[in-house]
Structure 1
Amino acid sequence: MAVEAIDQFMNISRGTVFVRTWRPEEASKVPIVLLHDSLGSVELWRDFPEALAAATGRSVIAYDRLGFGKSSIRTDPAVPEFVDDEARTYFPAIVKSLGLSQYVLFGHSVGGGMALASASISGDSCVAVITESAQAFVEERTLSGIRAAKQSFENEAQLSRLSKWHGERARWVLEAWTEVWLSPRFREWSLDHYLGKVICPVLAIHGDSDEFGSSEFPHRITQGVSGPARMKILNECGHVPHREKEADVLSLVCSFLFENQVP
């Protein structure tokens, strides 16, 4: 199936956001919106959005959060409430600018947490959520992985590779991840106060070898939401299933959407 990619910039209250839409021929179903991880961007999704659009027959939309990728630079330090801010302020502005009345959310890592938080306050607009490697609370395994990553980025060559995707934003992007997650104020963070308000179907995908979190995360998610929920643990898979096990992820998503009769 042929898929067309369309780029645009949207002005919201705090700056300009870069958005890319992959649109298959004759797409008529509710679109899928991708929410990236802590170091992610539109470009770092690589070929997955096009493959997802072709497999599902749905438009797939991804955007760079403010401070990331090609969106406006941020200089203010990230705050522990950044997941809440995305769900309550920035994502609704994107939805309004795109004119979306309904959507499916697909979030990777912290983007999965943002997807669930957004779904909990969106009413009937969010018709399904797919989380991939999403954190549900602060686990020591997560902190250990972040500490190791922070140490690796002390190597300038490693930071330069991050700059490929974020340009002069790279240092801010890195610290927005490491300094918030490792701060004492963030230790009590969890999705618990959002989960019970998620009424749409939820699919929680997790790798058995995820270096940033155990299977306790998808367990907490699927047991906590109010709508129908399914968990899938992928064998021999780390933190990025859509890259490591793309065919499995595409198959899971298509089956999930079909079984739950997502419009």
Structure 2
Amino acid sequence: MSNLHSREHWVDSAQGKLFAQEWVPAQAQGAPIVLLHDSLGCVALWREFPAQLAHAIGHRVIAYDRLGFGRSDAHPGVLRLGFVEDEARQGFSALLEHLGVEDFIVFGHSVGGGMAVACAAAFGNRCRALITESAQAFVEARTLEGIRAADLQFAEAGQLQRLQRYHGSKAEWVLRAWVDNWLAEDFAEWNLDTVLAQVRCPLLSLHGDNDEFGSPAHPERLLAHAGGPGVMRLLQGCGHVPHREQAEQVLAEVTQFLR
């Protein structure tokens, strides 16, 4: 992928600096694809996927660390109810402004998928397409079971160090922001239905049939409530991270969808 040019950026947001990286093909075409990471993720944890995506599609690909994650500044407080929907007007909006992005395609993984829905809704006249991968559309028992199991795993000796590799001293905040929000009583009724109704662009919803954090009820609900046309792809024998587990399949689905 030597014909890709990669650049790093520091984006000023209302609450601190955000780290962003872009991958630009030599003959970049079409709207840039903006990636939104999962609850424990960051730019570095997308690994090879952004470069693979830029190479396969021929579009500029942009990923950023949300406030409190990766190389971005620490978050000054705790995430509040509504944090999924709010990202569209916070970090995402600051990123678009800093990079001078007008029209865009948004691609979100896990909770980033929910945030991508909010971005497509908030910037309806600029969002060309919405891609969700393993996104949660509501609070499901399977989601909460997966989170409780992960919380126990991270409590074991040395496990938090896996997160510290990517988030440094922010690792404990990152873990609690995920676990405590999703398990909170006031989050139990959360869903994306209202926001989905405001989405007008085409939607591609990718989901693994073995996703430990959500059943196929999630992509089904995304398609049922989205205001625009939608396509659902259930990936066989795939867990929560299709872009790592079945990268070729994900790239093929995205390529076909964007054509």
* TM-score w.r.t. length of structure 1: 0.96
Output the CA distance in 2 between the equivalents of 1:152 and 1:91: 31
2:190 maps to which residue?
A: 189
Give runs of aligned pairs for residues 22-41 of structure 1, distance below 5 A: 22-41=23-42
Output the CA distance in 2 between the equivalents of 1:128 and 1:67: 27
2:160 maps to which residue?
A: 159
The two structures, once aligned, show a CA RMSD in angstroms of 0.8
Output the CA distance in 2 between the equivalents of 1:84 and 1:203: 19
Output the CA distance in 2 between the equivalents of 1:167 and 1:196: 38
Query: Does the 8 A contact of 2:35 with 2:62 survive in 1?
Result: yes
Aligned residue-pair number: 258
Per the TM alignment, residue 103 of structure 1 is displaced from its structure 2 partner at its CA by 0.4
Query: Does the 8 A contact of 2:13 with 2:90 survive in 1?
Result: no
Q: Runs of 5+ in structure 2 lacking a partner?
A: none
Query: Does the 8 A contact of 1:163 with 1:169 survive in 2?
Result: yes
Q: Runs of 5+ in structure 1 lacking a partner?
A: 259-263
Query: Does the 8 A contact of 1:200 with 1:227 survive in 2?
Result: yes
Give runs of aligned pairs for residues 1-263 of structure 1, distance below 5 A: 1=1, 2-258=3-259
Matched-pair identity in %: 51
Render the CA deviation track for 1:168-190: whole Å, top value 9, x for unaligned: 01000000000000000100100
Output the CA distance in 1 between the equivalents of 2:61 and 2:250: 15
Output the CA distance in 2 between the equivalents of 1:169 and 1:157: 16
Per the TM alignment, residue 141 of structure 1 is displaced from its structure 2 partner at its CA by 0.2
Render the CA deviation track for 1:58-104: whole Å, top value 9, x for unaligned: 00000000000000012411212211221222211211111111000
Query: Does the 8 A contact of 1:75 with 1:172 survive in 2?
Result: no
Query: Does the 8 A contact of 2:56 with 2:251 survive in 1?
Result: yes
Query: Does the 8 A contact of 2:85 with 2:114 survive in 1?
Result: no
Structure 1 ranges of 4+ moved more than 6 A:
none
Output the CA distance in 2 between the equivalents of 1:193 and 1:91: 20
The letter for the 1-side match of 2:105 is: V
Per the TM alignment, residue 57 of structure 1 is displaced from its structure 2 partner at its CA by 0.2
SS in 1 for 2:243: helix
Query: Does the 8 A contact of 1:206 with 1:218 survive in 2?
Result: yes
SS in 2 for 1:79: coil
SS in 2 for 1:119: helix
